[in-house]
Amino acid sequence: MFEKVSEDVYAITDGSTVGNVALIATETGNFLIDTSMYPKVARDIRISVEKTKTGKLLGGAFTHYHFDHTGGSQIFHDVPMYGHALTKENFEKNYMTDEFLKRFKDSPQKDLFEGLRPTPPSRVYSTNPFVPEEFNNVEFIHTGGHTSGSILIRYIPENILFAGDNLFVGRYPWGGDPTASPYDWLNAMKTIQDMKPKKIVPGHGSVVDELTEINRYVKYLEKVIQLGEKLVIEKTDEEKALEALEEIDFLPESREGMKKGTLSRWFEVIKAKNS
């Protein structure tokens, strides 16, 4: 379950929730970030949240709509759950529960999905930055990048940042979502650089306490965009362009096809912007 990150911040980053889950627990109450992939795991998370400090759950937020961060959302249906307007839209347009369940039907994790009922955010906002009324020591900064609705969340008193899936630590990121943008992703990374957070809780992988990972992402995204734009101008065909982009070295893939899927979407965005 939760490991302690700082005085007020806890996180689950061991992969048991698939997408990382975080908790801010103060003397006035608790605030949850993301809900894991599985309803069964989310029930345990809720029990743990209600045992931490005051145990009072004031609400929570989704960093973005992806299944591995929102599959347990129904377990928190009775507290205010915040999502950006574009995250709400992604829930409506891009969610793929049936397709996903089919993929997992015969897997050992089948039981963890029992009673699955993904629940979209009950509180929707579009101002930027945004501060939720129940918990005013966080701010949500909408950046897009990994998905159009992706946000960064900053816990102001400790300057701890929750990057959602704009940061995968130790492995190649998934950027193949139909709403992903390498330009927005790069801006998100630069926003993190400017904030100089003390610690960063990523969407996947371990908590980091320096900007090394972020700086690497900035360099990588800049290289991809620069080469991508050059290939567009030279009217290189898609297959050759992707081969060239794949040559740029970065983190190892956790699953084959992640890098190709990501670069294919990113090149599509680069092409649309530059032709």
Tell me how far, at minimum, the Cβ of 200 lies from Zn ion, in Å: 16
* Residue whose CB is less far from Zn ion, 66 or 142: 66
Tell me how far, at minimum, the Cβ of 203 lies from Zn ion, in Å: 6
128, 132, 133, 139 alpha-carbon torsion, rounded to 10°? -70
Q: Does residue 213 touch Zn ion according to CB under 5 A?
A: no
Q: What is the C-alpha to C-alpha distance for residues 39 and 16, in angstroms, rounded to an integer? A: 12
The footprint of Zn ion on this chain (CB under 5 A) covers a number of residues equal to 2
* Residue whose CB is less far from Zn ion, 67 or 76: 67
* Residue whose CB is less far from Zn ion, 66 or 265: 66
Q: What is the C-alpha to C-alpha distance for residues 160 and 153, in angstroms, rounded to an integer? A: 8
Q: Which stretch binds Zn ion (CB under 5 A): 58-66, 81-89, 237-245, 251-259?
A: 58-66
Task: Indicate the length of the chain as a whole number.
Answer: 275
Q: Does residue 84 touch Zn ion according to CB under 5 A?
A: no
Nearest to 116 by CA among 43, 20, 12, 18: 43
* Residue whose CB is less far from Zn ion, 66 or 259: 66
Q: Which stretch binds Zn ion (CB under 5 A): 64-72, 126-134, 179-187, 261-269?
A: 64-72
Q: Fill in the per-residue mask, 134 to 173: x = in contact with Zn ion (CB under 5 A), - = not in contact.
A: -------------------------------x--------
63, 125, 38, 185 alpha-carbon torsion, rounded to 10°? -30
Q: Which two tokens stand for residue 233?
A: 């101008």
220-230: b or e for each residue (b if 16 or more CB lie within 10 Å)? bbeebbebbee
Nearest to 154 by CA among 123, 116, 197: 197
Q: Does residue 66 touch Zn ion according to CB under 5 A?
A: yes
* Residue whose CB is less far from Zn ion, 116 or 227: 116
Q: Which stretch binds Zn ion (CB under 5 A): 4-12, 66-74, 109-117, 214-222?
A: 66-74
* Residue whose CB is less far from Zn ion, 67 or 250: 67
Radius of gyration of the chain (CA): 18
Q: Which residues bind Zn ion (CB under 5 A)?
A: 66, 165
